[in-house]
A = this chain, B = another copy of it.
């Protein structure tokens, strides 16, 4: 089998953890597999580098930021190769230039466009364990890019897709995908399987186990994905095309605290207003999540939406600059909010989910700010400090009042 194994920053944080991961890698190699390893930067390396940059230039150019940050993964792969060598097995490290991972030019948030796997195949044929830098690519100018949050997961899945790997294992500090974050919700249960779509909703909603882009890619290329622990030998969760959706209609509860709400108030009730606002934000590469538009009264309406906390200031700046053009009375915001969501492929055919959700929040005396629904999820915006209580209330509700979580 050809297996791609990805280890995150905490799994390679120090010499001992690198050796632990090396042992897992070697175990798989000794079983006769071809092994490609994708690594993130060590533990706090990225934060330390960001701090260094901030001290010199708090508004560092994105290109230079990528040049700086990409060194973290290069250190990881070199150290991992050394660890594998010290245990007596052959390994070679490759950075994005060497692994020929080509990306778009969008610094700090590039997309993988293509991978020329020739070098990797050559190294595998030489019986090497191949260790590749996650999170980074090379753009058409020959410059280093990084892939943004969760980029190493995306690197692993893209490599698995391009190499036609039999399996892509994502090692992390949890042992699989849970029905809710076990650190927040006591009764959270590990799932044996989950569908790409459900995982996608959970990832998008801040479950933080897998980045959404990596799941999208896995779905697109039908990559056999497993999320498992770097610390134990537990089985993990398989992410695949169809999970046993018949048995459960809710697969998980997710909390996302990286959310701010912006409201644009007193817009004239004319066509094209929403287009103006969101094209401005999109041009500045600000992603908008939940969007709500109030019903117009007195020819005036309000539009509210959420953005990631890190984008709040820039979004506000852009809107304030274009206040005239947009034609609104005022702009307000709130960054003490969080999004709580339930996800499940079974929802589409079960209208009771929303009712159960609202009942749970009502019983817990939690006020709902905004509501957004899709085929397989319902999200509500609540006060940030009530988010964990909300998640527990919802999880309990579905666990006890229904056999929502399958088995």
A: residues with CB less than 8 A from B are 15, 18-19, 49, 52-53, 55-57, 59-61, 63-65, 67-68, 70-72, 74-75, 77-79, 81-83, 85-86, 92-93, 95, 97-98, 119, 142-144
The chain B residue sitting closest to A79, CB to CB, is B56
The chain B residue sitting closest to A91, CB to CB, is B64
**Residues of chain B lying within 8 A (CB to CB) of residue A98:** 142-143
Using A60-B82, A79-B52 as known contacts, say yes or no to A97 and B18 having CB atoms under 8 A apart.
no
The chain B residue sitting closest to A92, CB to CB, is B63
Q: Which of A75, A85, A144 has the most CB of B within 10 A?
A: A75
**CA–CA, A74 and B70, complex, Å:** 9
Task: Apart from A15-B55, A70-B74, A119-B142, list 11 A-B contacts with CB within 8 A.
Answer: A19-B56, A49-B75, A53-B78, A56-B79, A63-B92, A64-B79, A64-B85, A71-B72, A97-B97, A97-B142, A98-B142
Among candidates B18, B19, B67, B82, residue contacting A64 with C-beta atoms closer than 8 Å: B82
The chain B residue sitting closest to A142, CB to CB, is B98
Write 17 A-B pairs (CB below 8 A) sorted by A numbering: A15-B55, A15-B56, A18-B56, A19-B56, A53-B78, A53-B79, A56-B82, A61-B85, A64-B82, A64-B85, A64-B93, A65-B78, A67-B95, A71-B71, A71-B72, A71-B74, A95-B144
Pairs A-B, 9 closest by C-beta atoms: A71-B71, A68-B78, A57-B86, A67-B78, A57-B82, A15-B55, A60-B82, A64-B81, A64-B78
Counted per complex, copies of this chain come to 2
**Residues of chain B lying within 8 A (CB to CB) of residue A77:** 67
Pairwise interchain contact B75-A61, C-beta atoms closer than 8 A: no
**Residues of chain B lying within 8 A (CB to CB) of residue A82:** 53, 56-57, 60-61, 64, 68
**Residues of chain B lying within 8 A (CB to CB) of residue A67:** 74, 77-78, 81, 93, 95
Pairwise interchain contact A83-B57, C-beta atoms closer than 8 A: yes
In whole Å, how far is A165's beta carbon from the nearest beta carbon of chain B?
23
**CA–CA, A86 and B83, complex, Å:** 40
**Residues of chain B lying within 8 A (CB to CB) of residue A70:** 74
The chain B residue sitting closest to A84, CB to CB, is B57
**CA–CA, A18 and B64, complex, Å:** 15
**CA–CA, A183 and B81, complex, Å:** 41
**CA–CA, A53 and B80, complex, Å:** 10
**Residues of chain B lying within 8 A (CB to CB) of residue A74:** 67-68, 70-71, 74
